[in-house]
């Protein structure tokens, strides 16, 4: 059933469902000896890989996703390190999303283990959004053997914050009349779009630390400090978010990147890698019926400094020659000919075409 056009927050019921330590949980479910132990999923801790996921026991030692696996092994000398099995995770994700879609067809995947559900038109069958959330949690635990944390709220912003409120295996319900009360004492970092830099600016300029304190800052002041994001922060501080749950998303970019076991110093080898990735991106575009106009390369040096270089073409293309030529030109605008390189990537953006796909598939391209 489709959400009614023009429905306000008072009538909307949005669920944000976030699987608990999904990758690690799949392994721990199937191997009871892993339960209660610090489990890390990712690359070789003796090599150059990164952490893809970590159990809560591992997170307690400071291990987190995107951390170099070698550093994680130093923090967790007795940890269990496992290589990712993405086909296995995808199969489990498909089972979870099938349960979601038995409740509503308004399911917006955010990643392989996370989604928004608009259940506004499903309340009559279940009684309430809270009852739907409890039903989903029960079914996923009983049928799949995994746990999910769910936030229930009148919009996506608050539902997302609520799902993280009582992890793992949590359920937090925020009715419309309690939105501002719920958000008020939270750090401004809880709001989407507020990172460390914005948090520091808000604190330095206005002495703001909590969402309630942010509400005392005027719209003009926020726009002066934060530019176009000022209006968004003003609305989010008040729990206002009219973004719909969108079950189909147009892919905005498609790319490839690789971290190397040993730094690349040879210019010919670096250029060959850029060429190989460019051709791979072209094949992926062609298979999906997509073309793009923005070529971007990513270079990470041995000291972890990362730079990107982009160029907009005067035409759309999925041709490997066009992408490769542009990417190699962009490579000349980096210091890859002077400094060792640990990661290279090529991406085509501003895509157009008939092919649509969900966000879930993107996560696999990162590893």
pLDDT tens column, 194-214: 888 899 999 999 999 999 999
Q: What is the DSSP letter of 329?
A: H
Q: Which of 66, 12, 30, 65 is nearest to 243 (CA)?
A: 12
Question: What CATH number should be reported for the domain whose range is 12-183?
Answer: 3.30.70.270
The answer to whether residue 20 scores a pLDDT higher than 70 is yes
Q: Which range is least confidently modeled, 86-95, 198-207, 252-261, 295-304? A: 252-261
CA distance 9 to 268: 57
Alpha carbon distances (Å) from 132 to 61, 78, 251: 35, 40, 30
Question: What backbone phi and psi angles, to 5 degrees, belong to 157?
Answer: -55, -55
Contact 9, 125 (CB under 8 A): no
| 39-48, 93-102, 245-254, 278-287 — most confident range | 93-102
pLDDT tens string 93-112: 999 999 999 999 999 998 88
Q: For residue 197, count other CB atoms closer than 10 A to its CB.
A: 8
Assess contact for 241 and 157: CB atoms under 8 A. Answer: yes
Global pTM?
Answer: 0.71
Q: What is the mean pLDDT of the segment spanning 266-270?
A: 93
Looking at per-residue confidence, does 183 or 52 come out higher? 183
Q: Which residue has the higher pLDDT, 161 or 289?
A: 161
Look at the domain 185-237 and name its fold.
DNA polymerase; domain 1 (1.10.150)
Active-site position among 57, 92, 114, 324: 114
pLDDT at res. 353: 67
Show me where the domains of the chain are located.
12-183, 185-237, 253-366
- The pLDDT tens digits of the residues spanning 305-356 come to 999 999 999 888 999 999 999 999 999 999 998 999 999 999 999 888 644 4
Contact (Cβ atoms closer than 8 angstroms) between residue 257 and residue 298: yes
**What local confidence, expressed as pLDDT, does residue 7 receive?**
54
**Per-residue confidence (pLDDT) for residue 367, from 0 to 100:** 41
Is residue 114 part of the annotated active site? The answer reads yes
Please return the burial class of 46, using the count of CB atoms within 10 Å of its CB with bins 0-12, 13-18 and 19+.
exposed
What interhelical angle do 196-206 and 219-226 show, nearest 10? 130
> Residue 365: its pLDDT value, please?
41
pLDDT at 279: 93
Return all residues near 59 (Cβ < 8 A) that are at least 6 apart.
none
Lowest-pLDDT choice from 34-38, 43-47, 201-205: 43-47
Mean pLDDT lowest among 270-279, 290-299, 303-312, 358-367: 358-367
Residue 5 confidence (pLDDT) above 80 = no
For residues 243-250, average pLDDT: 81
Structure tokens at 141: 């635990």
Average pLDDT over residues 32-50: 89
- Please give the residue that has the higher pLDDT: either 351 or 135: 135
Question: Domain 253-366, what fold?
Answer: Dna Ligase; domain 1 (3.30.1490)
Is the per-residue pLDDT at 134 higher than 90? yes
What local confidence, expressed as pLDDT, does residue 308 receive? 94
Could you give the percent of the chain with pLDDT greater than 70? 92
Q: What is the pLDDT of residue 44?
A: 85
Which pLDDT score is estimated for 9?
A: 67
Cα separation of 39 and 55, whole Å? 5
Mean pLDDT in residue range 256-267: 90
């Amino acid at each position: 059933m489709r959400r009614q056009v023009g429905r306000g927050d008072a009538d909307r019921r949005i669920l944000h469902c976030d699987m608990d330590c999904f990758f690690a949980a799949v392994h721990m479910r199937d191997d009871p000896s892993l339960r209660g132990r610090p489990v890390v999923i990712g690359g070789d801790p003796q090599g150059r890989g990164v952490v893809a996921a970590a159990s809560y026991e591992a997170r307690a030692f400071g291990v987190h996703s995107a951390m170099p696996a070698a550093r994680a092994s130093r923090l967790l000398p007795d940890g269990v390190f496992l290589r990712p099995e993405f086909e296995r995770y995808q199969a489990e994700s498909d089972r979870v999303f099938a349960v979601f879609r038995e409740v509503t067809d308004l399911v917006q995947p955010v990643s392989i283990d996370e989604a928004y559900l608009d259940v506004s038109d499903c309340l009559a069958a279940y009684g309430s959004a809270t009852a739907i959330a409890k039903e989903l949690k029960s079914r996923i635990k009983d049928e799949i053997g995994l746990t999910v944390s769910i936030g229930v709220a009148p919009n996506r912003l608050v539902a997302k914050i609520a799902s993280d409120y009582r992890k793992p295996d949590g359920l937090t319900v925020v009715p419309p009349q309690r939105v501002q009360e719920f958000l008020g004492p939270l750090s401004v970092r809880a709001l989407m779009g507020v990172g460390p830099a914005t948090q520091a600016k808000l604190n330095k300029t206005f002495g703001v630390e909590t969402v309630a304190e942010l509400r005392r800052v005027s719209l003009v002041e926020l726009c002066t400090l934060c530019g176009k994001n000022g209006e968004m922060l003003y609305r989010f501080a008040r729990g206002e978010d009219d973004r719909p749950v969108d079950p189909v998303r147009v892919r905005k970019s498609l790319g490839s990147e690789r971290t190397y076991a040993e730094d690349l110093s040879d210019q010919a080898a670096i250029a060959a890698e850029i060429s190989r990735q460019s051709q791979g991106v072209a094949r992926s575009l062609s298979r999906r019926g997509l073309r793009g106009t923005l070529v971007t390369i990513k270079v990470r040096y041995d000291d972890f400094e990362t730079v990107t270089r982009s160029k907009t073409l005067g035409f759309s293309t999925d041709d490997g020659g066009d992408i490769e030529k542009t990417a190699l030109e962009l490579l000349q605008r980096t210091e890859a000919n002077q400094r060792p390189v640990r990661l290279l990537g090529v991406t085509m953006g501003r895509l157009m075409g008939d092919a649509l796909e969900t966000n879930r598939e993107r996560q696999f391209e990162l590893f």
